[in-house]
Amino acid sequence: MSAQPEMPPRTAMEHRTAMQHRTAVRVHPELRPAFEALPQFSDPYEDIEGTREGFHAMLAAVPADRTGVDSERFEIPRADGSALTVGVYRPEGGASSGGGEGAATGQDARTADGGAGRGLPAVLHFHGGGYALGRSLPGQDRTAIALCRELPAVVITVEYRLAPEHRYPAGVEDCYLALEWAAERADGLGIDPARIALAGKSAGGGLSAAVALMARDRGGPEIVHQSLCVPDLDDRVGADEAADAEGSGAEGADAEGALSARVTTGRGVQRAWKHYLPEGMAVADAYAAAARATDLSALPPAYVLVCDLDPMRDAGLAYARRLMDAGVPVTVRNVPGAWHGFELFAPETRVAKEMTAHWTGQLRAALYPVG
């Protein structure tokens, strides 16, 4: 038998191309065109202000469809004298708080709830963006607008302070302050205080989990549901990968060497935590990274959504399992063959629409329970 000829060593480019092809096989077939068209990944923190400006320019190019939705902005005073800005989205013609302090004016939003006189349910929506970007233009939050129309609900978006200028705990304390504000002014906002939920994707999911812990521990407002979509809630995600890359000097690959040039990897997750946590904090606490909490009992029912190719998938599933073990009702959904944030690049695919319909439906069921 003749010996097989020795293959010449691959160049770095050839290796990366082969690895990307192998990962593309794992991508959901409907998502492959979007995956192959993804731009090369770049570090958003190299020029964080430029990254934010680019994001806002992209949003401004196609204004959100606000049909059927009214919105107002309010300033909530912080203890240090500064102000937290929140946006309040309501179904058109609903209650207006006229500055947040007085009674509602105009048609009362409570009439939209079957005349029950309880007010609409409320969703505190925390945006994603690695704790450092992702803030929508005023009155243009597409997720808030969609939830407001489809649930329906009063949706409150929170312009929490962003890293790295404002590191933990600034952002999460802002989110908790917004929760307290909404609960205290429920009547004026047309909110049913017994039906307040928390929702967020990515960093917003991590903030939702942390605020649920804070409300439990501080005896804060009652929360009926926490919707954690692809949540960034564990500062240990990607730590080994980042250490290996630093030791080898490699910029190439994740565990399989395939996704790093195009989508979020463990090293990217570590980059976000590096800029969010205070310098010198060796171990995050539970309000920074909810996965660090040792006691998950007595928390509100949860929905946990993960994506197959997301480096945060396993941490999200582990958190869901720990919630279950603590006696918390949990619904879990995994999107096969999808990467973190895939719906931004493939919004019209069946996979993206089904994912959105599922988590929205779970939120609606929690806010409008049967019986």
222, 366 in Cβ contact below 8 A?
no
The three-state secondary structure class of 371 is: coil
- What is the C-alpha to C-alpha distance for residues 362 and 205, in angstroms, rounded to an integer? 15
Nearest alpha-carbon partner for 251 in 4, 9, 8, 16: 16
Q: Is 310 a catalytic residue?
A: yes
Asked whether the CA dihedral 299, 235, 133, 316 is positive or negative, the reply is negative
Burial of 160 (0-12, 13-18, 19+ CB in 10 A): buried
Please provide residue 264's backbone torsions phi and psi, each rounded to the nearest 5 degrees. Answer: -65, 130
160, 170 in Cβ contact below 8 A?
yes
H/E element holding 245?
A: helix 239-248
Looking at residue 148, the DSSP 8-state letter turns out to be H
Catalytic residue among 96, 97, 136, 202: 202
- 276: Cβ contacts below 8 Å, ≥ 6 apart: 130, 131, 132, 163, 164, 167, 168, 171, 288
Catalytic residue among 28, 125, 127, 340: 340
Please provide residue 208's backbone torsions phi and psi, each rounded to the nearest 5 degrees. Answer: -60, -45
Bridge-based pairing of strands 154-158 and 83-91 is: antiparallel
Looking at residue 118, the DSSP 8-state letter turns out to be S
Catalytic residue among 70, 113, 235, 310: 310
- Which residues are part of the catalytic machinery? 202, 310, 340
